[in-house]
Chains A and B, each alone.
Chain A
Amino acid sequence: MAFTSHSKLPELNTATILLVGMQGIGKHRLAGALLELNTSYSLQVRTATHLPLPAENSESRPRIDFVVFLLDANNNMSISKTVASAKELDVSYFLGRACFVVLNATSESLHCTDMSNITGLCDAHDSPMLCGSLQDENQRKCLARKLLCQTEVSSGFKHAVSPMLIQATKHTYEFMEPL
Chain B
Amino acid sequence: MINTNVEIRLRKVLGRFKRDEFVKHLREWGSIPSGCLKEVETVVAEKSTRKALVERIVQLSNIKHLTTLDVAQLDLIYHQNHPNNRKWSVFQLTKQPEQNEKHVVTSPDAFRERLGKQLSFYFKNDLCLRTRGDAWWLRLGIQEGSQAQRLSPGNVVYMVHHPHSQYIIMSSIKVSHKDFVMQALLNSLHCSEIREIQLTGRDLDSLAALALHSNSQGWFSQFRLGQVDSNPLSKGPSRKRKAPSDVPDTDVVFENQKDKDHREQQILHAFGSNRQPKLQKIEYKLETRFRGFEFAPAMSLHKEPFHCRVKFEGSSVLEGIKELGRAGLTALPLPHHLANVHSLAKNHFVLADKKRTRPEQK
Contact = CB atoms under 8 A, between A and B. Distances in A.
B251 interface: yes
Contacts of B256: 48-50, 53-54
Given A23-B328, A24-B327, A47 B252 contact: yes
A35 B248 CA distance: 15
A45 interface: yes
Given A23-B327, A23-B328, A24-B329, A56 B252 contact: no
Interface string B251-270: 11111101110000000000
Given A54-B258, A56-B258, A45 B328 contact: no
A31 interface: yes
Interface residues of A, number: 23
Interface in A81-140: none
Contacts of B259: 49
Interface residues of B, number: 13
Interface in B79-101: none
A24 B258 CA distance: 16
A38 interface: no
Contacts of A57: 255
B328 A49 contact: yes
B255 A45 contact: no
A45 B258 contact: no
A24 B328 contact: yes
Contacts of B260: 23
A71 interface: no
A68 interface: no
Interface string B224-263: 0000000000000000000000001001111110111000
A93 B216 CA distance: 52
Interface in A23-55: 23-24, 28, 31-32, 35, 42-50, 53-54
Contacts of A61: 255
A155 to B, nearest CB: 15
Contacts of A144: none
A75 to B, nearest CB: 9
A160 B106 CA distance: 93
A153 interface: no
A54 B248 contact: no
A22 interface: yes
Contacts of B328: 22-24, 49
B359 to A, nearest CB: 41
A54 B255 contact: yes
Interface of A: 18, 22-24, 28, 31-32, 35, 42-50, 53-54, 56-57, 61, 77
Given A22-B328, A47-B255, A61-B255, 20 more contacts: A23-B260, A24-B327, A24-B329, A35-B251, A43-B251, A44-B248, A44-B251, A44-B252, A45-B251, A45-B252, A45-B253, A46-B253, A46-B254, A46-B255, A49-B256, A49-B259, A49-B328, A50-B256, A56-B258, A57-B255
Interface of B: 248, 251-256, 258-260, 327-329
